[in-house]
C-alpha cells in the first residue's frame, strides 16, 4: 500500500491505470489484497498480474474479490499457453504476451513456416507471428529500437490467417519457456 502511494506521488497522479504484480512471489496474496484495497479506493483503475501460470492463477482467483484484468505471460509461437488461455478466458482475464517475437530466439525470424505463410501475404515473419497472437485476442507488446520495425509490427491488420494456417503453428509449441522462466 505504501509503495502504491509513493508511486502516485512520484507520478504526480491521483490514480494509476493498471498495476501488475510482476511474478508470484511468496506473499502475492497479501500484495494483491493491498492492490484490491487501492482499487476499491479509486487509486488503481485496473489491477492484474504477470507470470502467473495455471496453479498460481487458480489460487489467486480462488482467494480474491477483484478478478485480475490482465495476466502478462511469455507467449509466442514456441510457447502458446493454450491451457492457461482457456483458464483466463473463463475468468474474463485478458491474456497479454511478453516476448511475442520470442525475442528472436529459436530462429524465430528465420522460421520456415512463418516465412512460407508470410510470402503468401507479402508479410514478414514478425508480422505473421504477431498476427497469430492477435487473431486469438492476445495483447502483444513487442519491444524494438528501430522505427521501421515499429511500422512493420503495426502493419498486420490487412490480412487474416486461415484456420489451416493457424493450425500449422500449433505444432511449433514447445510447451516450455525459452527464457528459463517457469
Ligand atoms: N513481465 C515480464 O516478466 C516480462 C518479461 C520479459 C519481457 N517483458 C516485456 O515484453 C516486451 C517485449 O519483450 P522482449 O523485448 O523480451 O521480446 P520481443 O518483443 O519478442 O523481441 C524484441 C526483439 O525483437 C526485435 N524486433 C522487434 N520487431 C522486429 C521486427 N519487425 N523484425 C526483426 N526484429 C524485430 C527487437 O530488435 P531491436 O530492439 O533491435 O529493434 C528486439 O531484439 C518488453 O516490453 C518487455 O518489457 C515482460
| Section 153-175 average pLDDT | 96
> What is the whole-number distance in angstroms between the Cα of residue 90 and the centre of ligand 1?
28
Q: Which segments of 29-123 are extended strands (E)?
A: 44-50, 70-74, 94-98
Atom of ligand 1 nearest to the CA of 102: 20
* Helix, strand, or coil (residue 104): helix
Residues 6+ apart with CB under 8 A from 31: 21, 25
Other C-beta atoms lying within 10 Å of the C-beta of residue 72: 21
Q: What pLDDT, on a 0 to 100 scale, did the predictor assign at position 116?
A: 97
> What is the whole-number distance in angstroms between the Cα of residue 137 and the centre of ligand 1?
19
Q: What is the CA radius of gyration of the chain?
A: 18
Q: 180: pLDDT confidence band, cut at 50, 70 and 90? A: confident
Q: Give percent of the chain above pLDDT 70.
A: 99
Residue 39 near residue 62, CB atoms below 8 Å: no
Q: Is the pTM of this model over 0.75?
A: yes
Distance CA 180, CA 182 (A): 7
* Cβ burial 83-121 (10 Å sphere, 16+ → b, else e): ebbebbeeeebbbbbbbbbbeeeeebeebebbeebbeeb
Q: 181: pLDDT confidence band, cut at 50, 70 and 90? A: confident
Nearest CA to ligand 1 atom 4: 98
Residue 16 has pLDDT above 80, yes or no: yes
The residues that bridge with 48 in the sheet, in sequence order, are 20
Q: Is the CB of 178 under 6 A from ligand 1?
A: no
Q: What pLDDT, on a 0 to 100 scale, did the predictor assign at position 39?
A: 98
DSSP state, residue 122: T
| Section 46-54 average pLDDT | 98
Mutation pick for ligand 1 pocket among 143, 149, 153, 154 (CB with most ligand atoms within 8 Å): 143
Reported as a single tens digit per residue, the pLDDT across 75-109 is 999 999 999 999 999 999 999 999 999 999 999 99
What are the extents of the domains in the chain? 1-68, 97-182
- Going by C-alpha positions, the residue among 75, 79, 22 that lies closest to residue 52 is 22
Reported as a single tens digit per residue, the pLDDT across 60-78 is 999 999 999 999 999 999 9
Amino acid at each position: 500500500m505504501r509503495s502504491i502511494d509513493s508511486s502516485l506521488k512520484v507520478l504526480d497522479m491521483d490514480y494509476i491505470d493498471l498495476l501488475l504484480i510482476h511474478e508470484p512471489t511468496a506473499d502475492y496474496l497479501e500484495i494483491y489484497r493491498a492492490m484490491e484495497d487501492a482499487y476499491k479506493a479509486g487509486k488503481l483503475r485496473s489491477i492484474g498480474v504477470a507470470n502467473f501460470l495455471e496453479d498460481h492463477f487458480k489460487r489467486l482467483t480462488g482467494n480474491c474479490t477483484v478478478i485480475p484484468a490482465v495476466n502478462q505471460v511469455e507467449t509466442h509461437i514456441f510457447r502458446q499457453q493454450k491451457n492457461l488461455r482457456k483458464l483466463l478466458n473463463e475468468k474474463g482475464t485478458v491474456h497479454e504476451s511478453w516476448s511475442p517475437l520470442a525475442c528472436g530466439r529459436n530462429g524465430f525470424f528465420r522460421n520456415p513456416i512463418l516465412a512460407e505463410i508470410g510470402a503468401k501475404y507479402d508479410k514478414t515473419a514478425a508480422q505473421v507471428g504477431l498476427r497469430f497472437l492477435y487473431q486469438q485476442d492476445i495483447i502483444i507488446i513487442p519491444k524494438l529500437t528501430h522505427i521501421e520495425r515499429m511500422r512493420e509490427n503495426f502493419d498486420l491488420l490487412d490480412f487474416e490467417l486461415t484456420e489451416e494456417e493457424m493450425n500449422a503453428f500449433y505444432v511449433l509449441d514447445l510447451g516450455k519457456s525459452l527464457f528459463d522462466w517457469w
